[in-house]
Amino acid sequence: MNANLRQSATPGHRDRVLRALGMTPWVRRGTPEPQVQMPQVVAERDQFMPAMGTGCVVVLPEGCSTRELDLLGRALNAGGPLLARSARVTVDAGQLAAGVPSAQAYLVFGEAQAHALGRTLPAARMHQAVIVLADEPSLVLTSAGAKRRLWSALRSVRRALAATGG
């Protein structure tokens, strides 16, 4: 019964479904890429910049290792184009190292970074934005439970961005 369902899905249909889910379809190098006409609404949505500023800001601790940044970069890329292109700011000695741009969602890695973000953001912006807390990158690198919590946090940020139109 499943074989019939797989045979009825065309490559164009598969690409449309993957793009609707926020995934980038991969194509093998040896085969030509099928030409898929995307609806104008979807194409405009990918170029949409939210009125509030950027879609998502990632707040990281100072001094993350290359392995930690690589893991986080891959996780954000898997979350879709809005998360992959999100602004990244670091916290140094309890203070944000750079100005925090206005955003619809903030993905914060670690409790100390959440406190620093809370001291920096105006109350009105904190009320409007979705703030999602994840474990510190060093813990995500070593703990399976922290990785599960990171995927849940990424899912929450994606839902918040989708709900606000970003």
pLDDT (tens digit, 9 = 90+) per residue, 112-123? Answer: 998 988 888 888
> Which is higher by pLDDT, 58 or 42?
58
Alpha carbons within 13 angstroms on the beta-carbon side of residue 61 total: 18
Q: Is the separation of the CB atoms in 96 and 120 below 8 Å?
A: yes
Give the strand order in the sheet containing 54-61.
95-96, 87-92, 54-61, 103-109, 130-134
Residue range(s) defining the domain that contains residue 70: 54-163
**Secondary structure (3-state) at 121:** coil
Evaluate whether residue 137 is within a structural domain: yes
pLDDT at 31: 55
- pTM metric for this prediction: 0.65
Domain count, the chain: 1
pLDDT at 98: 67
Distances 129 to 70, 86, 107, 118, 142 between C-alpha atoms, Å:
26, 14, 11, 12, 30
pLDDT at 33: 55
Other Cβ atoms within 10 Å of 38 Cβ, number: 14
Q: Is the separation of the CB atoms in 62 and 91 below 8 Å?
A: yes
Name the pLDDT band for 45 (thresholds 50, 70, 90): very low
pLDDT (tens digit, 9 = 90+) per residue, 12-38? Answer: 888 888 888 888 777 667 655 555 555
pLDDT (tens digit, 9 = 90+) per residue, 60-97? Answer: 998 889 999 999 999 999 888 888 888 888 888 888 87
Average pLDDT of the chain is 79
Q: Is the separation of the CB atoms in 59 and 89 below 8 Å?
A: yes
Evaluate whether residue 22 is within a structural domain: no
What is the domain-level CATH number for residue 63?
3.40.470.10
